[in-house]
Amino acid sequence: MNLRERRKRRDAASAYSTPQEATENDSMTALDQPRPLSAADDDIGREKRLRMFRLLLELRLTEKRAYDLFLQNLVKGTSHLSLGQEAVAAGFALGMRRDDYTFCTYRGHAHTLARGAPMSGVLGELMGRECGVTAGKGGSMHLTSVEHGAMGSYAIVGAHLPVACGAAWSAQYRGTDQVTACFFGDGTTNIGAFHEALNFAAVWKLPVVFVCENNLYMEYTPIGTVTAVEHPAADRAAAYGLARTIVDGNDADAVFRTASAAFARARAGQGPALIEAMTYRHSGHSRADPAQYRPKGELDEWLKRDPIKIYRERLVSLGFPEVDLGAIEADTERRVNEATEAAKASPPPPLTLIEKDLWADGGVAWRN
């Protein structure tokens, strides 16, 4: 591909105000050429595609159940759903090793589940129950499951990017080939910690992959109205010597391929990556937000590119039997129902829990 063609490809990626065909960046080749959609012989294959479909369903149905529980006044505090953004969490998680690290924002239910945290543990955490992943102490905005590599959901915008650098630096120092994936929203790109973390990671060639989930809105404000560039993450990558990488965040296969390539380079010592995944949240910023600021018809257009709809249709076109897909759907719904009942049956944590886990040794004794 010559320079002129690369520029045309780059410019085509700049029209992402509404859903359309994804465009890859200059140096990433995950979507550079059309791929044969064959479940038997392509680079993803039958087994992984079925795992992807099941995971997409788990994320969607669990968050829908979280919404239902919120309406029943069982969820403590507010919640920030990622309905419509499941392909980002699923595509990256399936490209990770079990010992890799994930850092995410308060919109972190899907990322925590995708790394293997139990549905009952996530729902229980939202309800403040003892079975929660942090025994009900963290709630929706602070989901953490270290045993699954989910190193925390962070409520302070941008605060976790430098922490993710620390985890990556630790892996680099120990020579473990572990990779850190750090997810954040488009609004984070206008926070100082974003630029500090990118620069630090690039200078030290840290094995960290930064992922901007660009859903077009920073809370209630369209990101394009307050940012000097079209793509708030990808268009700034060159400042840190990184490739300009944009992927269709509603296409789980495209996300998986892009993630896998970035992880492979990071493990090989080639340093960080910055990926901008174009996606859209189906609901408002939080449960208190009716999202009336969105232009009429915008949601309807994005619903046509629902990541689960896209993936199911792809599987059918590849020859996966409808009966198999239906069985996965029914089984996932059953498991969500069982997890819901288990979480409901779990008691609130005892008050003595407040004196645990304040320090790394698990206690509360002051040390100086």
Nearest to 94 by CA among 260, 291, 272: 260
What is the number of structural domains in the chain? Answer: 1
pLDDT (0 to 100) of residue 175: 97
| Per-residue pLDDT tens over the stretch 89-98 | 999 999 999 9
Domain contains 355:
no
| CATH code assigned at 157 | 3.40.50.970
Task: Give me 362's structure tokens.
Answer: 């698990």
User: What does 129-198 look like in DSSP terms, one character per residue?
Assistant: -TTSTTTTSS-GGG--BGGGTEEEEESSTTTHHHHHHHHHHHHHHHT----EEEEEEGGGGGSHHHHHHH
pLDDT digit string, tens, across residues 117-153: 999 999 999 999 999 999 999 988 999 999 999 999 9
Residue 271 lies in a domain: yes
Residue 24 lies in a domain: no
220-237: b (≥16 Cβ within 10 Å) or e? eeebbeebeeebbbbbbb
What pLDDT sits at residue 354? 85
pLDDT at 10: 39
Structural domain boundaries enclosing 242: 46-342
358 in any annotated domain? no
Q: Indicate whether 7 pLDDT > 80.
A: no
Q: What is the predicted pLDDT for the residue at 40? A: 46
Q: Give domain status of residue 32, yes or no.
A: no
Average confidence (pLDDT) over 63-79: 90
Give the pLDDT confidence score for residue 359 in this predicted structure: 86
Lowest mean pLDDT, pick from 10-24, 40-54, 119-133, 281-295? 10-24
**Residue 167 maps to a domain:** yes
Q: Tell me which amino acid residue 220 is.
A: Y
Domain assignment present for 39: no
Least confident span in 29-38, 42-51, 164-173, 192-201: 29-38
| Cα 58 from Cα 122, distance rounded (Å) | 12
- Tell me whether residue 139 is in a domain: yes
Query: What is the reported pLDDT for 283?
Result: 84
CA 280 to chain centre: 12
Collapsing DSSP states into helix, strand and coil, what is residue 293? coil
CB 185 within 8 A of CB 107: yes
**pLDDT for 306-336, tens place per residue?**
999 999 999 999 999 999 999 999 999 999 9
